Amino acid sequence: MINREQIEPSIGEDGSIIRELASPHNSALTRHSLAEIRHPPGTTSQEHYHTEAEETYLVLEGHGRVQVDGETHAIGPGDIVVIVPGQQHTVWQEGEGDLVLLVSCVPAYSVDEVVFTE
């Protein structure tokens, strides 16, 4: 059993606040990971792609935009973004409040399979 409040957040280079909720690093999972990523006002993730992982974003709070392979969409609560390996993507917060995403990766997130493009 893991409680979100017991997980120490880390700060990404882009200013996002990341909580690794369940992954091979903190649980018995071996094949996927689940994280909460909070983008405070004015933050933008670094454009990147994954060589192996499929990634899914569920927007929990706030508003922003996501760009996947050059196509940009407004996102808000309840929206789901599906990203397959090789698709370049970035997300940014817009408006008031944080943009909060629940992010799943299969296989589990590993910095070794992330390629930053900017």
On whether residue 90 sits in a domain, the answer given is yes
**pLDDT at res. 69:** 97
The answer to whether the pTM exceeds 0.75 is yes
On whether residue 78 sits in a domain, the answer given is yes
On whether residue 101 sits in a domain, the answer given is yes
Flag whether pLDDT at 118 surpasses 90: no
Could you report the per-residue pLDDT of 40-97, keeping only the tens digit for each? Answer: 999 999 999 999 999 999 999 999 999 999 999 999 999 999 999 999 999 999 999 9
**pLDDT at res. 57:** 98
On whether residue 52 sits in a domain, the answer given is yes
Q: With beta carbons less than 8 A apart as the criterion, state whether 36 and 3 touch.
A: no
On whether residue 97 sits in a domain, the answer given is yes
Could you report the per-residue pLDDT of 6-39, keeping only the tens digit for each? Answer: 999 999 999 999 999 999 999 999 999 999 999 9
On whether residue 55 sits in a domain, the answer given is yes
Structure-block tokens of residue 118:
């900017």
**pLDDT at res. 7:** 94
Give the number of domains in the chain: 1
Phi and psi at 51, nearest 5°, equal -80, -25
**pLDDT at res. 33:** 97
**pLDDT at res. 102:** 98
What is the domain extent for residue 47? 11-116
On whether residue 3 sits in a domain, the answer given is no
| Distances, alpha carbon 27 to alpha carbons 5, 30, 34, 75, 86, in Å | 15, 8, 11, 30, 27
Structure-block tokens of residue 63:
């508003």
CATH code at 80? 2.60.120.10
On whether residue 1 sits in a domain, the answer given is no
- 72, containing H or E segment: strand 71-75
